[in-house]
Structure 1
Amino acid sequence: MEFSRTAIPDVVLCKPTVFYDKRGYFFESFKKEAFENFLGYQVKFCQDNESKSVKGVLRGLHYQLPPFAQSKLVRVIYGKVLDVAVDIRKNSSTFGHYVAVELSDENKHQLFIPKGFAHGYKVLSNEAIFSYKVDNYYHKKSEAGILYNDSDLNINWQVIDDNLCISDKDKNQPVFKEAKVFETIY
């Protein structure tokens, strides 16, 4: 597994070593020791989640507030998405900046998004199966979000067309200036 820091150094791109042969392929999708050695700290994942979406679905931008904040390790099992992480740590030098990475079943890349980031993705293929590990359980009263098309964030979601499919909840999230943010950096 190859790890590299993105434009926001706490967000990490993980590229597995894939072994192909006539039977197909094999790769390690997660190796705790190597991952934590790169990060320099422990991450205790406690749950794996999976969702299936069709082309044009945009989910996000979501996060949970402390003490129920979550780190996520996300990947695409089938299809292709544009994955976005927004820094919402008030004291961070990259506060309000975002990272966007294409994740697919072809490139098999993963993105580690630490606590203190809002997260979302847009499906670019006809269908996508999205998988992610989290290090804290879902807590409804701690869930929060930011409007996906907030002009201050100016996220390039690639093509936003008339076929965009987004939940009413996500359409009605607060803008970045009004959103609850993290006062400290984890």
Structure 2
Amino acid sequence: MRNKKLSKLSTKFYNRTYLHYYENLLLTISCTLHFFRDSRYYKNMIEGVFIKQIKLFNDDRGFLAEVAKESDPTHRDFLLYCKKVYKTRPTIKQTIYTETYPGVIKAFHWHKKQWDIWFVLSGMAQIVLYDLRKNSLTHKETQVIFAGESNPLLIYIPPEVAHGYKVLGNEKVRLLYHVTEVYNTEHPDEERISFDDKKIGFDWRTKNK
């Protein structure tokens, strides 16, 4: 009887170990594929930043865009990454809409726990990310993304990655973003760094070439 119990416990332990191994393997493969898929288009990819290219379905009436759904490969990669690195399964707890006028720079913000998921509804934005995480493989790396009407993207921004943007052109930017924490007015998860911070050293000027 005791041997049977030991055998069952051993089998259960083996199955859990086996499952854990393949979950980690799946995460590694998934994140690696995501990195190589996106690194063809974006230089200096920051660890944990996930980007989905939004497909537009056009006809003579206008267009339709499917922005996000739970079964998206990019969203699955995001959830797997969170499970592995943060031991959590984050959910959307608040959605925010903002408009910013042409030429304005809004930078930099960062959060200790909160993920941001950005989608530029209209206009064009030069989005700048800077990795503050000391234990990250891309610590102190800067990533620049151009997103908006002519390049619709869904961008997942991890905690402790500073983010900001500049409005390009003559149209204001309309930005919709989801966050994984409810804003707390008494204890906000909101840190700020000046847009011209010397340590980040990003040059926001448009370079004529």
With normalisation by structure 1, the TM-score equals 0.75
Change in 2 beyond 3 A, CA 1:50/1:125: farther
Alpha-carbon distance, 1:33 to partner = 2.3
For the pair 1:91 / 2:135, whether they are aligned, the reply is yes
Which residue, out of 24, 38, 54, partners 1:4?
38
Question: Conserved in 2, the CA contact under 8 Å of 1:36 and 1:43?
Answer: no
Q: SS of the counterpart of 1:101?
A: strand
Question: Conserved in 1, the CA contact under 8 Å of 2:47 and 2:138?
Answer: no
Change in 2 beyond 3 A, CA 1:64/1:50: same
Alpha-carbon distance, 1:144 to partner = 1.0
Higher relative contact order (CA 8 A, sep 6+): 1
Higher Cα radius of gyration: 2
Other-structure match for 2:76: 37
Give 1:146's aligned amino acid: I
Higher strand share: 1
Structure 1 unmatched runs, 5+:
161-186
Question: How many pairs were matched up?
Answer: 156
What's the Cα RMSD here?
A: 2.1
Map residues 148-163 of structure 1 onto 2, 5 A cutoff.
Answer: 148-159=195-206
Other-structure match for 1:46: 93
Question: Conserved in 2, the CA contact under 8 Å of 1:74 and 1:110?
Answer: yes
With normalisation by structure 2, the TM-score equals 0.68
Question: Conserved in 2, the CA contact under 8 Å of 1:73 and 1:132?
Answer: yes
Other-structure match for 1:108: 152
CA–CA distance in structure 2, aligned partners of residues 10 and 64 of structure 1: 14
Question: Conserved in 2, the CA contact under 8 Å of 1:64 and 1:139?
Answer: no
Question: Conserved in 1, the CA contact under 8 Å of 2:111 and 2:161?
Answer: no
Change in 2 beyond 3 A, CA 1:14/1:158: farther
Which residue, out of 157, 173, 191, partners 1:128?
173
Question: Conserved in 1, the CA contact under 8 Å of 2:47 and 2:137?
Answer: no
Question: Conserved in 1, the CA contact under 8 Å of 2:96 and 2:176?
Answer: yes
Change in 2 beyond 3 A, CA 1:10/1:158: farther
Deviations 1:41-94 (A, max 9, x none): 4431111111111111111211233xxx21111121110111112111121122
Question: Conserved in 1, the CA contact under 8 Å of 2:118 and 2:178?
Answer: yes
Report percent identity of matched pairs.
26
Which residue, out of 33, 46, 63, partners 1:25?
63
Q: SS of the counterpart of 1:25?
A: strand
Structure 2 unmatched runs, 5+:
1-33, 83-88
